[in-house]
Amino acid sequence: MTNEPKLVTVSPGVHAWIGAGGDSNAGAIETPDGVLVIDAQQYPRLGRMFRDSISATTGKPLRMLIDTHCHLDHTHGNVVFEDLPILAHDKCLAAMHAALGPLEGDRWKITDFSTKLRILFGTNVNELVPEGDPYRAWFHQRIGLPDYDVVTILPPTQTFADQFVFHLPNETVRLDYWGPAHCDNDIVVYLEKSKVIFLGDLVFNGRYPWLGDGNLDGWIDRLSHVMTLDISVAIPGHGPPTDMKEVARFRDMLIAIRAGVEKAIKAGWSEDAAVRDVQVPEFAHVSRYKEWMPIDVKAAYRQMRGR
């Protein structure tokens, strides 16, 4: 993990912006018509650093911003790119409307803590970690910086269902939606010839998964699908660029959570007992395990109990 965010070239004309200490990542793909930007950072100050770095590295104008999903650590910086079209999946825009309510003019301006949490951690976060819950303090410090005092989010200006493709002279860039996973609107950006994939938050490299309102079965299935693709470099939503081995390891963590909760439900444990006692010791060393594992168990229990 690095202490400063930085732009790393992962293939000719393809760059990954790696957040400091596991903060959210982003990307930039050079095309003859300008740079395609992938994700916009967790607040505008970082978004501007990212934008300046793209310009310094490529010397090219920007063409479009792509949001991989709705969460604010990837979209709060959209305002830095407001001169560009912003492309996302239909469900990304729908999720923003659902979480954020009515627009103020052409954007949302959020000051309410619970609403900020919903667009950062999913629509059920305030039920998973209600005010008064000992785990809630971590969430207060997570967005404690003045950069989060007013969260301004610009909606996508253009959306698509299922798939969107850029046919470049020497590359095909595919934006694919495969169904609910980390949230209900995750897309991946796959460069077929360079064999580079931007996974959004389908993978956190070096960090325990946050389940929230994600779909555990769907997430595991999506990663199994990613593993069938021809990929040399995978850019996760958080953490350094990686490969299919790490994608498999991350999927194993999700499978381990599911297996632990499944066992608890079959044994008739209450939700409280599952939250207290379901452990995945082989992954307990992974960052955020302590803070997130009990909440993941609660989310998984609520999802799986009903099926």
Alpha-carbon distances, residue 294 vs 52, 197, 270 (angstroms): 39, 31, 14
Whole-angstrom Cα distance, residue 166 to residue 168?
6
Q: Which residue has the tokens 């005010």?
A: 131
Residue 251: strand, helix, or coil:
helix
- Residue 184 or 201 with smaller CB distance to Zn ion: 201
Say which residues have a Cβ less than 8 Å from residue 196's Cβ, sequence separation at least 6.
10, 11, 14, 190, 231, 232, 233, 234, 235
Shortest spacing between CB 69 and Zn ion, in angstroms = 6
Residue whose CB is less far from Zn ion, 201 or 213: 201
Specify the residue, 58 or 185, whose C-beta has the smaller distance to Zn ion. Answer: 185
Stretch that binds Zn ion, among 46-54, 79-87, 163-171, 201-209 (CB under 5 A): 201-209
Are 142 and 210 in contact, with CB atoms under 8 Å apart?
A: no
Q: Binding string, 157-186, against Zn ion, x = CB under 5 A? A: ------------------------------
Backbone phi and psi for residue 14, each to the nearest 5 degrees, phi listed first: -125, 125
- Choose between 176 and 201: whose C-beta lies nearer to Zn ion: 201
* Beta pairing partners, 238: 24, 204
Span interacting with Zn ion, options 14-22, 130-138, 198-206, 227-235, rule CB under 5 A: 198-206
Decide the pairing of beta strands 108-110 and 151-153.
antiparallel
Q: How far is the CB of 88 from Zn ion (least distance, A)?
A: 13
| Count of residues touching Zn ion (by CB under 5 A) | 2
Q: Which of 67, 171, 201, 296 binds Zn ion (CB under 5 A)?
A: 201
CB of 278 to Zn ion, least distance (A): 23
CB 86 to Zn ion: min, Å: 17
Half-sphere exposure of 26 (CA within 13 A, CB side): 35
Is residue 39 part of the contact set for Zn ion (CB under 5 A)? no
Cα angle 215-219-224, degrees, rounded to a multiple of 5: 155
The stretch near Zn ion (CB under 5 A) out of 59-67, 75-83, 193-201, 267-275 is: 193-201
Q: CA-CA distance, 120 to 294, in Å (whole number)?
A: 18
Q: Of 13 and 237, which CB lies nearer to Zn ion in the complex structure?
A: 237
As a residue count, the chain comes to: 307
The angle at the Cα of 221, spanning 219 to 223, to the nearest 5 degrees, equals: 70
Could you give the C-alpha distances from 43 to 47, 86, 143, in angstroms and in order? 6, 16, 10
Region of 30-38, 83-91, 199-207, 216-224 interacting with Zn ion (CB under 5 A): 199-207
Rounded to a whole number of angstroms, the minimum distance from the CB of residue 238 to Zn ion is 9
For Zn ion, the closer CB: 171 or 201 = 201
Shortest separation between residue 182's beta carbon and Zn ion, angstroms = 6
Looking at residues 48 to 107 of the shown chain, list those that interact with Zn ion (rule: CB under 5 A).
71
Shortest Cβ 71–Zn ion spacing (Å) = 3
Least separation in angstroms between CB 277 and Zn ion: 28
Closest CA to 24 of 40, 10, 4, 9: 40
Residues interacting with Zn ion, by CB under 5 A? 71, 201
